[in-house]
Amino acid sequence: KQVKSALRLMGLEEDLLEALTRPANFLEKEIEIALDSGEKKKFKAFRSQHNNALGPFKGGIRFHEEVTEDEVKALGMWMTWKTSVMGLPYGGAKGGVKVEAKELSEQELKRLSKAYVRAFSEDIGQDTDIPAPDVNTNSLVMGWMLDEYEKIKGCSCPATFTGKPIELGGSEGREQATGQGGAYLLEAIASKYNLTPSETTIAVQGFGNVGHWFAKRAHEIGFKIVAVSDSKGGIYLDSSLDPDKVLASKKQSGSVSDYPVGDKINNKQILELNVDILVPAALDGVITGNNADSIKAKYVIELANGPITTAADDIFNDKAIIVLPDIVANGGGVSVSYLEWIQNRTGEHWDLAEVNQKLKDYIMLAYNSISETSESKSLSLRVAAYQVAIQRVVNAMKMRGRL
């Protein structure tokens, strides 16, 4: 739907829609592993390679019981727009295995990871399709996958996977990249809209890796983090929370809601707090046509994927709430993946300061380009982001003679 509306506003032909939404390749395999019990079990595995007009396919591999063909195709396309709007020389892809990952032992997970690579070894590579971690996969899984790939290919080719452990060619700053990128975006909007950090209140829904790193960086810059929540509930403190102390408490008790200072709140309440900036950093679809009218924040930074439905988006446009869209707001992760890929290709290893400076440059370039498009065409930042992303892909496809 977002692609359709962006195309219409760009004056591009509707028949482009098919060329822009259909994946270049969709691969489905059945992989089999031995469980610890000795029993053999089969799993459905997918890889959707959406578009490579701007560069190699790029996107994560998820292990989840609800992985479907449609989901993998949609996420692969979404990666095309994300890498494009971030100005990276990549296309988009996504992979997955339909499996209850939490039911597997570590050894079973390792066997599944290596079996996935054996199934798709002809389809991935540092110049063709570069996987990364996603839901229920991490740097450990990338290490296993890299090892299997290098065995099959007889090469040392660490750039085939990103999000690896540092020891295997991973990059400094990858763990905090998405939250860090969101914090750079926060600084950009504070500068643009003259927000004084010490007077600007922020609520963060979702206190996993991304939410914590964002809150930590925002707090260090001087913003007031007045509320955070996780899946079990949240905490509100008018005078500002210290994200590191909240994290330490969560590690002990299992939830931020057990933090000893402040008022307990739930995940519905955190969205509707009277704050300046709301940061949904957990699940998709949490702000809908039903609760969008109750949102009091003036700015929303989408660190989660798709936290705002299209119905809510329309209400926000009417209320003049400024939304920093997910394809830019959480683009820090894929940007540092790109920096990892460059380091692997050149044999360099950059320190954290260098990685962060380059990450900031990519976030600022993307923000400035969507901001200019938004202002010159009177569009929301989301529609502007899709226009910038789609136009770059369309131009590349035309130059290649594909359109």
- Which of the residues are catalytic? 94
Characterise 218 by phi-psi region: left (phi > 0), alpha (psi -120 to 50), beta (else).
Answer: alpha
Fill in the amino acid letter for 174: R
Tokens of 402: 């594909």
Q: Measured between alpha carbons, how far apart are the two ends of the chain, in Å? A: 21
Q: Which residues contact 205 (CB under 8 A, 6 or more apart)?
A: 211, 228, 229, 234, 267, 270, 271, 278, 279, 280, 281, 282, 286
Is 279 in a helix, a strand, or coil? strand
Containing 318, the helix (H) or strand (E) segment is helix 310-319
What is the sign, positive or negative, of the torsion defined by CA atoms of 244, 246, 250, 255? negative
Among all chains, which residue has been given the structure tokens 């998820």? 62
d(CA 336, CA 175): 9
Q: Which residues carry a binding-site annotation for substrate?
A: 58, 82, 337
Q: What is the largest CA-CA distance in the chain?
A: 63
Q: Which residues carry a binding-site annotation?
A: 58, 82, 178, 209, 337
Q: Which residues carry a binding-site annotation for NAD(+)?
A: 178, 209
